[in-house]
Amino acid sequence: MNKLTAGLFVSHDLISRFLIRFKHGLILTLVLGIIAYFWLQQVQQTAQYQRLLLDPQTDDLILIDLGRFDADRVYQAQFRITQVIAASDDKITVKQGRYSYGRKRDIKRAIQLDNLMLDNYFDPDPVEWPRAALADYFARGAIYAIHRPNDIYVMGGIVKPRAIPRLHAPAVRHRLSPENQRGIAHYQLGELSEAREAFAAAAHKDDHWGQYNLATMLLGAEGGEADPARAMALLRQAAAHGNHKAQTLLDTLCPDNAACD
């Protein structure tokens, strides 16, 4: 037997004795290490959720437990998906899924199966939450997670339509108001009178997209009677704020429209 082989046997013997002698300590260390790893993962994930809740953005998914919102009722797990449709300095507006799930993993599966893209998945009536209350909702488990889409995906599932690239950016950058976003949500669901009211509220706040959207509904008698004169006035206001679509529509309509005079 050469020295190398002898050395290997000696090393194996030493390692075997070490493992036998300190077996329980090594197992305990391994278990504690696994616990510490998952604890650290949980801490980091909680911190990420808290950061996102400080600045919620359109299309964020906020996962909620309805049973935690009403402390006066006997608790029953009712997990639901909500999606942000508008955010302002003092509140956020979300659309809420129609379906309740008994387990969090069912929520994950619904997202991964692209269920959010199904017609009528979300309730048409939006819900408003004060931004100042989001941290409290999270602390008591009413909100238990928030996810920001990576492109159009969350957990590998599609949660919003892919934006169509625009050839030309608008001349003026403008943050859409919550009222205008709410109007768009109503309009997409065919709730024209509600959309018209929401666009009117946005127009009242000098949101030029709200002015443009309301004007087109007034011209087309959508959600109520037609009002060409008011529509033209709104288009002029929107164009004055730099809305290129309003200016294009004015240029198209005015040569043959008496309301332009």
Measured distance CA(26)–CA(21) in Å, rounded: 10
Strand ranges of the sheet holding 143-147, from the earlier edge strand across to the other edge: 127-130, 91-96, 79-87, 61-65, 143-147
Burial 248-259 (b: 16+ CB within 10 A, else e): ebbeebeeeeee
Q: Kindly list the domain boundaries of the chain, sorted by start residue.
A: 57-158, 178-260
CATH tag, 178-260: 1.25.40
Measured distance CA(92)–CA(127) in Å, rounded: 8
Q: Where are the beta strands (DSSP E) in the chain?
A: 61-65, 79-87, 91-96, 127-130, 143-147, 153-154, 157-158
The 10s digit of each residue's pLDDT in 20-46 is 776 777 677 777 778 777 777 777 878
Would you say the pTM of this structure is higher than 0.75? Answer: no
The 10s digit of each residue's pLDDT in 41-79 is 777 878 888 899 999 999 999 999 988 887 777 888 889
